[in-house]
Amino acid sequence: MGGQWKRILVAFVAAGGVVGPQTLAADLSSDLSSDLARLAAAAPGTGHAPLAAAADTLAAIPPAGIRPALAALANATPAGANWLRSGLDRAVERLGTEVSADTLAGFVTDPALPPRARSLAFGWLEARDGARAEDLLDGMLDESALDLRRAAVAKLLAPSSADEVAQREAHRRALTAARDVDQVEAIATWLTEHGEPVDVADVLGFIRRWRVSGEYDNVGGVGFATAYPPESADAAGSDPADWKGVESADTHGAVDLNAIIATKKGVLAYALATVTMPEAGLAEVRVGSPCAVVVWVNGRQVMAHEIYHASEAIDQYVAPAEFRAGENTVLVKCCQNEQTDPWAGDWKFQVRITDPLGLPLARQGAVEDSR
Amino acid sequence: MTRWCAFLACCLGVAAAAAADWPEFRGPGGRGLAAGEAAIRTTWSAEEGIAWKADLRGRGVSSPIVVGDLVVVTSSSGPRQERLHVIALDKATGEQRWERSFWATGRTLCHSTSAVAAGTPASDGERIVALFSSCDLVCLDLAGRLLWQRNLAVEHPRAGNDVGMGSSPRIIDGTVIVQIDCQGDPFAAGIDLATGDDLWSVPRDRIASWSSPLPVSLAGETAVLLQNPNGLELRRLADGELAWSWRGDCSGIPMTAAAGGMLYVPSAGIAAVPVGGGEPAWKGAKLSCGIASPVAWNGTVACVNRAGVLVIGAAEDGRVRGQVRLSGSFWASPIVVGDLLVAVGKEGITFLVSTGDTPEIVAQNELPGTFTATPAVADGSLYLRSETALWKVAAPD
């Protein structure tokens, strides 16, 4: 049966035709699989018409087609995920209560489905039965879908009449589960105010102990692409000696180069840290800076952003990097430009190394003045 | 005379206004002008004169558009504002017809005064395109079916701006124009509305701007004007080739107004630059724009400065004809409806101002919320969008 006829049949069934959805689902499987694969693999920028047609097919699937479509999100490209979602949302909207709340709840708690699929299903369930969705959050403190984990943490911390002992325990559990900075800070504030001081920078895993070298010329932005000695030496694995040991006391691990070197314009500095990783493998390097930054891990460049004074945020730039078990070096090149606007004075950066969910992985020993 | 008309209109509770769709940022052609002879109400509040109010999922600062019997607006939600929404409401009732959601594929950091849903959608009457700060561009039909999508930050990995991208897409003769101005990988592109494919793409200066493309006629041919702090570029619609440029100080946020072959360029004041010309015909330092864009019509140029003063000048020489102090701050661009200028303050007060030589506040009406979106007007109704809700001011009885 051709794809076009299959689509007509699907539409016929959706309109109340005589063929049962289960029968159709079995019959449809190969075509549906083909469409799901096509949607999931969508490349950006091209081939829209066949993808729109495949999304139409997806929008017409029977209830039994929802789960395989959700599962297809596991390996979808960014464009593919949105194509799948566009068809899935329409399908669930069309099917209404043909997909029961129990079924939706089953998707949410199905560990075999990817986090994005569980999150999407949670949204459908929330729209259908908010209380049912809310109940599911109780088991989601370890959820790998970050939005669901966040909601679970928020629920755990919701105002209650529980006594302080119970609230304290809830906050301790929440601190372990939380991955979002604002939640960590709110929890830390509560615990600190209740006699349990929390070091936010430590919980979030910011690298605080660095050796700094600078300043170097960046007039006209020339330094961003210039390999000054610390950079060349890092690449060669050698030990330049002009490092100055510093330790950030900032809550967010910011290394303030204006304070360490001088308030200057058109300059850059390097900062080198040694971190210990529990095991070898990929981890995320997460950097925040209002200045242009380049970062190397063990001498290999992992990110370069020539952006000046266009906001700053924790985890502003994220890149994967290969680490080895034990000691690793992280080298940051932080460039200040010559803007004179009052909001363009900061010259600083912050770095942490985490897993994909934001759990800090890197640990540090004491600061050294030089290697 | 104008003053008397405005006074009379106020007494009657109505003013001249639009009758057509409002299909894009600042209305048809991006001029900020309501065509037609319908009427809008001049007095309203949260309790009276409101046809409907719709609470919106998430938040946004984009403007609503009106297409046929739909009002379409965008928003974003989620812990990282990573969920993008295009929402279509029934124009008559405010009931939601459909909502389509997407995952952002680009950056979603932005300043608190902006939003990931900052660009206003656009429509040709059959399709809707929406561009988000994450550089995700989606095209839907009027039933909410996704026709194509472009993940421009995937295609250009350094495209984006953590202050927030604010440019709105523009549809001109079947071509979607996007202006992605940033420090990373800036470009402008003409995209086929029917297929989603690039017709052309050109690099831009590595500098941020929040300006939107504007259709401008040059030698009888429609071209697209692109503005950044370094100046103006006029590019041919068909192939993106540079047809004309002007280098000079331009604002990065308020966008140029075009009328009668002249470009009224926000800079230090306003510079009146002839389309295709060189030196400005005049510079009016007192015609100073804040965040809001100027509006030009019928030999008049008006702007709201950072102090909240509406200044009205003569388009021929920049001479200030009059000014009136409004109150509050203004992020939404003013629009002109008949003889009235509509200026929506961030704090929720909408000022209706007569546009004669001595501008006067005809009426001011307050709604709750934070309003930074430029209003839409259609069929005698104003559509006012706060960060979290959309209000339809009822057409007069």
Distance (Å, whole) CA B271 – CA B318: 9
Q: Which domain holds residue A277?
A: 204-354
CB contact under 8 A, B146 and A52: yes
Report d(CA A269, CA B207) in Å as an integer: 24
User: What is the DSSP code (8-state) at residue B386?
Assistant: -
Domain termination residue (choose one: A128, A149, A170): A149
Please compute Rg for chain A using Cα positions. 26
Q: Which residue of chain B is at minimal alpha-carbon distance from A79?
A: B151
CA distances from A170 to A141, A158, A187 (A): 11, 10, 10
The residue-averaged pLDDT of A198-226 equals 95
Regarding whether A215 and A139 lie in a shared domain, the answer is: no
Q: Which residues 282-311 of A are in CB contact (within 8 Å) with B?
A: 305-308, 310-311
Residue B378 and residue A17: Cα distance in Å, rounded?
42
DSSP class of residue B360 equals -
Phi/psi zone of residue A251: left (φ > 0), alpha (ψ -120 to 50 degrees), beta? alpha
Partner residue opposite B79 with nearest CB, options A150, A306, A313: A150
pLDDT value for A24: 44
Query: B79 and A90: CB-CB below 8 Å?
Result: no
A150 and B CB contact within 8 Å: yes
Size of interface A-B (CB pairs under 8 A): 91
Establish if A90 touches chain B: CB-CB under 8 angstroms. yes
pLDDT score, position A45: 85
Q: How far apart are CA A55 and CA A71, in angstroms?
A: 15
CB contact under 8 A, B150 and A44: yes
Cα distance between residue A176 and residue A181, in whole Å: 12
Nearest by CB to B102, which of A82, A116, A312? A82
In angstroms, the CA B299 to CA A223 distance is 50
Of B103, B182, B195, the CB nearest to A82: B103
Instruction: Look at residue A224 and tell me whether its pLDDT is greater than 90.
Output: yes
Look at A311 and B105 and tell me if their CB atoms are within 8 Å: no
Q: Is residue A131 part of a domain?
A: yes
3-state secondary structure of B214: strand
A252 and A326 in a single domain? The answer is yes
Q: Is the peptide bond before A312 cis (omega within 30 degrees of 0)?
A: no
**Cα distance between residue A282 and residue A278, in whole Å:** 12
Is A370 or B256 the better-scoring residue by pLDDT?
B256
Chain A positions in Cβ-Cβ contact with residue B101 (cut-off 8 Å): 85, 89, 123
Number of domains chain A is built from = 2
My answer on whether A139 and A221 are in the same domain is: no
Distance CA B178, CA B183 (A): 16
Sign of CA dihedral B334, B337, B338, B340: negative
Domain limits of chain B? 2-387
The residue among A261, A267, A270, A268 whose CA lies nearest residue A232 is: A270
Residues A228 and A112 in one domain: no
Provide the CATH topology of domain B2-387.
Methylamine Dehydrogenase; Chain H (2.130.10)
**Is A102 contained in some domain?**
yes
Identity of the residue numbered A154: A
CATH of the domain at A219: 2.60.120.260
**Which sign does the torsion angle of CA A231, A235, A239, A244 carry?**
positive
A186 assigned to some structural domain: no
Condensed to tens digits (0 to 9), the pLDDT of residues B148-159 reads 999 999 999 999
Residues 229-288 of A with CB under 8 A from B: none
| Alpha helices for chain B (secondary structure H) | 2-12, 152-155
Domain identity same for A118 and A245: no
Same domain for A144 and A211, yes or no, is no
Give the 3-state secondary structure of residue B58: coil
Which residue does chain A place closest to B101, by CA atoms? Answer: A86
Q: Which of B151, B162, B198 sits opposite A316 (nearest CB)?
A: B162
Do A212 and A348 lie in one domain? The reply is: yes
Distance in Å, alpha carbon of A285 to nearest chain B alpha carbon: 16
Q: Which of B169, B252, B248 is nearest to B210 (CA)?
A: B252
Strand partners for A354? A284, A360
pLDDT score at A4: 43
Clarify whether residues A211 and A301 are in a common domain. Answer: yes
Q: Is A96 on the interface with B (CB under 8 A)?
A: no
**Mean pLDDT for the stretch of residues A332-359:** 96
Residue B99: Cβ-neighbour burial (10 angstroms; 0-12, 13-18, 19+)? middle
Mean pLDDT of A63-90: 97
Q: Is residue A248 part of a domain?
A: yes
Cβ contact (<8 Å) for A85 and B197?
Answer: no
Q: What is the mean pLDDT of chain A?
A: 90
Quick: pLDDT tens for A103-131. 999 999 999 999 999 999 999 999 999 99
Residues A42, A115, single domain; the answer is yes
Q: What confidence tens digit (pLDDT) does each residue in B189-212 have?
A: 999 999 999 999 999 999 999 999
Contact B146 A55 (CB under 8 A): yes
Cross-chain residue pair B78–A147, CB shorter than 8 Å: yes
For residue range B229-283, what is the model confidence (pLDDT) as tens digits?
999 999 999 999 999 999 998 999 999 999 999 999 999 899 999 999 889 999 9
Beta-carbon contacts of B226 under 8 Å, excluding residues fewer than 6 positions away, are B179, B188, B204, B211, B213, B232, B233, B234, B235
Query: From chain B, which residues contact A within 8 Å (Cβ)?
Result: 78-79, 98, 100-103, 105, 109-111, 136, 138, 144-151, 154-155, 158, 161-163, 182-184, 195-198, 208
| pLDDT per position as a tens digit, B48-79 | 999 999 999 999 999 999 999 999 999 999 99
Per-residue pLDDT at A44: 87
Query: If you ran DSSP here, which 8-state letter would residue B28 be given?
Result: G
Output DSSP code: residue B64.
Answer: P
* A188 pLDDT more than 80: yes
Contacts of residue A146 in chain B, CB cutoff 8 Å?
79
- Cα–Cα distance for residue pair A190/A174, rounded to 1 Å: 11
Q: What is the 3-state secondary structure (H, E, C) of chain A?
A: CCHHHHHHHHHHHHCCCCCCHHHHHHHHHHHHHHHHHHHHCCCCCCCHHHHHHHHHHHHCCCHHHHHHHHHHHHHCCHHHHHHHHHHHHHHHHHHHHHCCHHHHHHHHCCCCCCHHHHHHHHHHHHHHCHHHHHHHHHHCCCCCCHHHHHHHHHHHCCCCCCCHHHHHHHHHHHHHHCCCHHHHHHHHHHHHHCCCCCCHHHHHCECCEEEEEEEEECHHHCCCCCCCHHHHHHHHCCCCCCCEEEECCCCCCCEEHHHHCCCCCCEEEEEEEEEEECCCEEEEEEEECCCEEEEEECCEEEEEECCCCCCCCCCCEEEEEEECCEEEEEEEEEECCCCCCHHHCCCEEEEEEECCCCCECCECCCCCCCC
CA atoms within 13 A of residue A143's CA, in its CB half-sphere: 27
Of A313, A322, A323, A291, the closest CA to residue A304 belongs to: A291
In three-state secondary structure terms, B292 is coil
Q: Does A129 lie in the same domain as A240?
A: no
User: Which residues of chain A have a CB within 8 Å of the CB of B205?
Assistant: none
Listed range (A4-8, A95-99, B159-163) with the worst mean pLDDT: A4-8
